[in-house]
Chains A and B, each alone.
Chain A
């Protein structure tokens, strides 16, 4: 009985450690990432980044690359013609 209890306890202990360093650690990392993405600091950081990008784009002569502008123009014109 005693040997059985010792073996069971040791097995449970080893299982707990193995679980924690494999699946537990992965779950922890996922939770950490979710917590980080939904954190106020990250949202503020993203807003700041968007703001910085808009400011730097405003300083440029053109917003869009010439090829991109051409593709977009054709696309909008096509949509317009279909909506007529």
Chain B
């Protein structure tokens, strides 16, 4: 499509990235401490210690050992559980903490949040570059805006050190796959190998990236014999990817195959989750789990564009399939590299979704483990947008469409502003307030920072305050960011409610609350305060009756 909109001006995209960077830089300190922050810090120092054990940096080794002792926490999982995680984010973050000599807990968590945001920022740039391979500048600009203004992803970009980092590397991986489809250069294939290795290391499902790339290469060779000339390079890719996976992942160094199999077997713990008003064991989630979560927690604009894009892509794919004729030039599911890219992305999406939905994969915390799917959603939505642009241009309604699009995006941005700093807990307009509360909301305990500030406001800090927890949330991890005198005024008593002055409660529970009374609030407590965002209750405080 020929461009004649103001959005094809390169300064628009520069301004977009500048605004994103400034917004992130000015706001990263606003986000609370997630339950995973401490865990990632420990993982980083654990592997840094392991890597340093092969070197002679004795002073640094001692420092790292001190940090490891300092991080220990009774709520953290055992070393056998956490050491399977990637080092790509955690080890550099631990190194930064050492280099900058950060001793204040608030500072080293905040620097991690900033680093997390930088990963997301790089992901956005690569997403724009990827879109430029397929669409014109105007569509790529709007596609990139859609990617940035996905509230849950944007919010999580400040504290989700696995899924957002994975999303970024996945975008980079697909970008280099596109490059390889154009030209199978050794340099591109080696970069793709490295990114594939990193993706597998972060989330085992990252194995889909190299496998789908190889599968599409195989499909290409069936109709385009000339692609067979690149077979040697592809074999090199197949050999080099596991080697790079081994080199970049210290967990595999001691026993590569056994440890790799161990990761496949231990992905997510088996717990109960609150979904659609009921408790489910996460081994037996309903098929609707992921589709429903995506539907209610992604803006309506994104959902509509995705639906249009999905229908159009698969309609075209079906037409190509039924008209396939080996005696014609059209002996393929696509015409040209751009269409091949669309098929590549949409089939990857469809197959991954079908596997996740039907294979009983354990999940929790909404669709956190599948945030990488946002890449496919927005790509397909951008495809839908591209078709709407073509249609509007034919009908000479392009200006109206752009005004509508800008207003809709403005509305999403306004909502994100309203949710700040809880964009990661976003629900769209299709969801009523009552319905929002039928789901687990603040799994990462972002609001725990707000909770403690509230407690400090209402209590006299000269006296000890006893806090009970009617939730699976490990409150003590958030308490770390407060100054010592404030920290020392709080005594966390878990479910020993007899000793508590206040009880923290939310709808996060590893047990079925309808069968297990572990988190039942005693009758001696009354509801005292409720913290809501856009109708969703993040937490409730219960106070002991003052008789």
Contact = CB atoms under 8 A, between A and B. Distances in A.
Interface in A29-74: 31-32, 35-36, 39, 41-42, 44-45
Nearest to A17: B354
Interface string B502-522: 000000000110011000000
Interface string A17-35: 1001100110010011001
B83 interface: no
B516 A31 contact: no
B51 interface: no
Contacts of B326: 2-3
B223 interface: yes
A75 interface: no
A5 B220 CA distance: 12
Given A2-B222, A41-B516, A17 B358 contact: yes
A3 B324 contact: yes
A1 B358 contact: no
Contact of A2 (B281, B287, B331, B511): B331
B515 A44 contact: yes
Contact of A35 (B222, B284, B351, B358): B284
Nearest to B223: A2
Given A41-B512, A42-B515, A28 B360 contact: yes
A66 B495 CA distance: 47
Q: Tell me the interface secondary structure of chain B in the complex.
A: loop
A45 B517 CA distance: 10
A12 B455 CA distance: 58
A6 B321 contact: yes
A35 B223 contact: no
Interface residues of A, number: 23
B354 A32 contact: no
B512 A35 contact: no
A2 B283 CA distance: 38
Contacts of A3: 324, 326
B333 interface: yes
A41 B511 contact: yes
Contacts of B222: 1-2, 5
A61 B167 CA distance: 68
A36 B514 CA distance: 13
A1 B332 CA distance: 12
A32 B282 CA distance: 10
B516 A44 contact: yes
Contacts of B321: 6, 10
A10 B386 CA distance: 28
A45 B279 CA distance: 15
B223 A24 contact: no
B358 A45 contact: no
Contacts of A13: 351, 354
A31 B284 contact: yes
A13 to B, nearest CB: 8
Nearest to A36: B281
Interface in B491-536: 511-512, 515-516
A4 to B, nearest CB: 10
A2 B328 CA distance: 13
Interface of A: 1-3, 5-6, 10, 13, 16-17, 20-21, 24-25, 28, 31-32, 35-36, 39, 41-42, 44-45
Interface of B: 219, 222-223, 281, 283-284, 287, 321, 324, 326, 331-333, 351, 354, 358, 360, 511-512, 515-516
Given A5-B222, A6-B324, A13-B354, 20 more contacts: A1-B222, A2-B222, A2-B223, A2-B324, A2-B332, A3-B324, A6-B321, A6-B333, A13-B351, A16-B358, A17-B358, A21-B358, A32-B284, A35-B281, A35-B284, A41-B512, A41-B516, A42-B515, A44-B516, A45-B515
17 contacts: A1-B222, A2-B222, A2-B324, A2-B326, A3-B326, A5-B219, A17-B354, A20-B358, A28-B360, A31-B283, A32-B283, A32-B284, A35-B284, A41-B511, A41-B515, A42-B515, A44-B515
